[in-house]
Chain A
Amino acid sequence: MHGNFEVDQCGLKAMCMSVQKTVKVLLAAIMLALVPNTGAAATSDPANASEEKEFNPAELAMEHVLDAHEWHLADYSGHSVSIPLPIILWDNGLKVFMSSAFDHGHSVVESGGSHYVIEHETIYKTDAGGTLTYDEAGHPTNEKPLDFSITKNVASMFLSVLLLLGIFIGAARSYSGANVPRGIASFMEPLIVFVRDDIAKNNIGEAKYRKFLPYLLTVFFFIWINNLIGLLPIPPGGGANVTGNIAVTMVLAIFTFILTNIYGNKDYWKHIFWMPGVPVAVKPLLAIVEFLGIFTKPFALMIRLFANITAGHIIILSLISLIFIFETEWASIASVPFVIFMSCIELLVALLQAYIFTLLSALFIGLAVQEHEHH
């Protein structure tokens, strides 16, 4: 609602708005974007009420940040242009069909004797008429089948895997014969050596880093490439937001969690449950804190990557939305440079977050496997 208030104030005079106002609008747009979809949709603005479909930047941002069952590319004269993706459901048996069957959420799909509808990218089981019953908060109460669909993010992730395999197997090939990197390998090798020397060796130690190096390298490049793909406006990016999805960051954090606790040695567990070198009375207290730490560390990994990437996407989308909020192309004079600036920052963030995730993973693993000097 704040966004709409600002729109009223500025109106078509967007050209002459002050920097201060720009910042205010920017903040408002970001706030708007962070409000859940349903809340921001309502409006009391009489000027826009006449329009058939009001532009909602929050909805736009959410649409781009969240996962989807089809790869939406553009809207053209009222029609969605999108790549259909396979829907895979487990509902007393495997049901597979293409997302185009939903006709962008307008149709009920019959598969294996059951009927399904899609609303807000969630698939519900329904009857032949597509009836949905809602609770007080406006959420459907219909049964939800287990959804293993190849969504936009899954598809983008698959493409990123192909890209990663192409780059690195290609790089590995270029070493055959002479031991000298050629082509892409000469670009990737310093990064690989950086991960090896400055992340793995420094944090895990000379003796044990080798075992964890493949994981750290894979995590680093997986996150980095997916962060970069997320910035692309066209497939394999184009709204896909793999590393800004909490399911993906959760899986990555769980891998670090598993590695840390499987390879944690006696000292690691001793430092958690019976911390040496502190008074006995403090030991149980520390044990509780340290035990929680086992989970909070990967939890922080999960949240950090998810929040950073999602926030970056939302900021860029909000800045672009300014043009549509002001309903004038002149807003692009302010908005486009900001978007370019933010995109440059996001390029840095893409690498930085990959580095931080890998570094902290190495640090946690290092703490778990290191040999403590006995105090």
Chain B
Amino acid sequence: MDLVTPGIGLIFWSTITFILLLWLLKRFAWKPILGAVKSREESIKNALSAAEDAKKEMQNLTADSEKLLKEARAEREAMLKEAREIREKIVADAKERAEAEGDKMIKQAQATIESEKKAAVADIKSQVAELSVAIAEKVIKEKFSDKAKQLELVDTMLGEVKLN
């Protein structure tokens, strides 16, 4: 049976051929091809993880900017509030001061009026005194001359005073 009897020649040549082929392909084909495939797979993996990182960073950035925006909004809010408060305070202060000033002025005015009044009263008093002294003088003069006349004088003078 030639079919199932391995021939020595073919065994010899196929052993040599296969070993040589294995060596040549290992050195010149499998090593560079597998190396290239592997490095490409790694670069794809790296690229994917880089993309993932970039995505994360992007998300972080968005979150950051949102945070910033929120902060800015809050700050603006705070500033507006403060401004409003300040305005209100200023207005209140001004009002208070105006009131105080007004009061003070009124008081001053009142004091002036009072003092003017006093001065006027004092003046009247002094005038009345002078007048009284002058009347008393005339009365005394008249008394010494005519009693009737003196009384008349007093009456006239008193009438004059009333006219005043």
Q: Which of B4, B9, B22, B33 contacts A192 (CB 8 A)?
A: B33
Neighbouring B residues of A323 by C-beta, 8 Å: none
Q: Specify which of A149, A245, A255 is in contact with B18 (CB 8 Å cutoff).
A: A255
Q: In residues 1-51 of chain B, which contact A (Cβ within 8 Å)?
A: 1-15, 17-18, 20-22, 24-26, 28-34, 36-37, 39-40, 43
A181 CA / B22 CA spacing, docked (Å): 22
User: Chain B: which residue is nearest A168 at the CB level?
Assistant: B29
Do A175 and B1 touch across chains, with their CB atoms under 8 A apart?
no
Q: Determine how close the nearest CB of chain A comes to the CB of B43; give it in whole angstroms.
A: 7
Q: Is A121 an interface residue (CB 8 A)?
A: yes
Q: Which of B28-76 contact A (CB under 8 A)?
A: 28-34, 36-37, 39-40, 43
Bound CA–CA A169/B21 (angstroms): 11
CA distance A218 to B29 in the complex (A): 10
Cβ of A70 within 8 Å of any chain B Cβ, yes or no, is no
- Per-residue A-contact encoding for B131-160, CB less than 8 Å = 1, 0 else: 000000000000000000000000000000
- The reply to whether A148 and B34 form a contact with Cβ atoms under 8 Å apart is no
Give the residue name and chain of the A residue nearest to B15 (CB): A251
Say yes or no: B4 contacts A246, CB within 8 Å.
yes
CB–CB B8/A148 < 8 A: yes
Would B3 and A251 count as touching, CB distance under 8 A?
no
Q: Which secondary structure dominates where chain B touches chain A?
A: helix
Contact pattern, A 148-190, Cβ under 8 Å of B = 1, otherwise 0: 1111011001100100110011011001100111000100110
- A247 contact from B7, B20, B22, B37, Cβ within 8 A: B7
Bound Cα distance A17, B39 (Å)? 62
Chain B proximity mask over A60-87: 1 for CB below 8 Å, otherwise 0: 0010011100000000000000000000
Question: Which single member of A180, A218, A248, A306 contacts B26 (CB below 8 Å)?
Answer: A218
Whether the pair B32, A175 counts as a contact (CB closer than 8 A) is: yes
Point out the residues of chain A lying under 8 angstroms from B17, CB to CB: 154, 157-158, 161
Whether A164 lies near B25 (C-beta < 8 A) is: yes
A250 on the B face (CB < 8 A): yes
Nearest A residue to B5 via CB reads: A246
Is A342 on the interface with B (CB-CB < 8 A)?
no
Give Cα distance in the complex from A134 to B15, angstroms: 33
CB–CB B22/A215 < 8 A: yes
A214 within 8 A of B: yes
In the complex, chain B residues whose CB is within 8 Å of the CB of A365: none
On chain B, the residues within 8 Å of A175 by CB distance are 32-33, 36
Query: Measured between C-beta atoms, what is the minimum distance from A164 to chain B in Å?
Result: 6
In angstroms, Cα B30 to Cα A168, docked, is 8
Inter-subunit contact A154/B3 (CB<8 Å): no
Q: Which residues of A contact B33 (CB under 8 A)?
A: 168, 171-172, 175, 185, 188-189, 192
Mask: chain A, 231-274; 1 = CB below 8 Å from B; 0 = not? 00000000000100111101110010000000000000000000
On whether the beta carbons of A164 and B34 are closer than 8 Å, the reply is no
Contact A193–B37 (Cβ < 8 Å): yes
Pair B4/A157 contact, Cβ less than 8 Å: no
Report the bound CA distance from A120 to B7 in whole Å: 13
Expressed in whole angstroms, the Cα–Cα distance for A158 and B14 within the complex equals 9
CB of B12 within 8 A of CB of A214, answer: no
A contact residues around B20 at 8 Å (CB)? 161
Contact A246 B6, beta carbon cutoff 8 Å: yes
B21 is contacted by which of A148, A164, A185, A245 (Cβ under 8 Å)?
Answer: A164
Q: Which of A65, A214, A217 is within 8 Å of B3, CB to CB?
A: A65
Give the residues in chain B near A324, CB-CB below 8 Å.
Answer: none
Q: Does A310 contact B (CB under 8 A)?
A: yes
Judge if A41 is at the interface, Cβ distance under 8 Å.
no
Q: Is A222 an interface residue (CB 8 A)?
A: yes
Bound complex: CA A149 to CA B11 (Å): 11
Partner pick for B29 among A67, A172, A193, CB 8 A cutoff: A172
Cα(A192)–Cα(B37), bound, Å? 10
Q: Which residue of A lies closest to B42 (CB)?
A: A179
Say if the beta carbon of A348 comes within 8 Å of chain B: no
Q: Which of A147, A164, A193 contacts B9 (CB 8 A)?
A: A147
Give 17 new A-B contacts, CB below 8 A, not counting A175-B36, A181-B36, A306-B4. A36-B1, A62-B3, A65-B3, A146-B9, A148-B8, A153-B10, A154-B13, A165-B29, A168-B29, A169-B24, A172-B28, A172-B29, A172-B33, A218-B25, A245-B10, A246-B6, A255-B18
7 A-B pairs with CB atoms under 8 Å apart are A65-B3, A148-B12, A154-B13, A161-B17, A172-B31, A179-B39, A217-B25
Closest 8 pairs (CB-CB, A-B): A168-B29, A247-B6, A247-B10, A175-B36, A214-B26, A172-B32, A179-B40, A154-B13
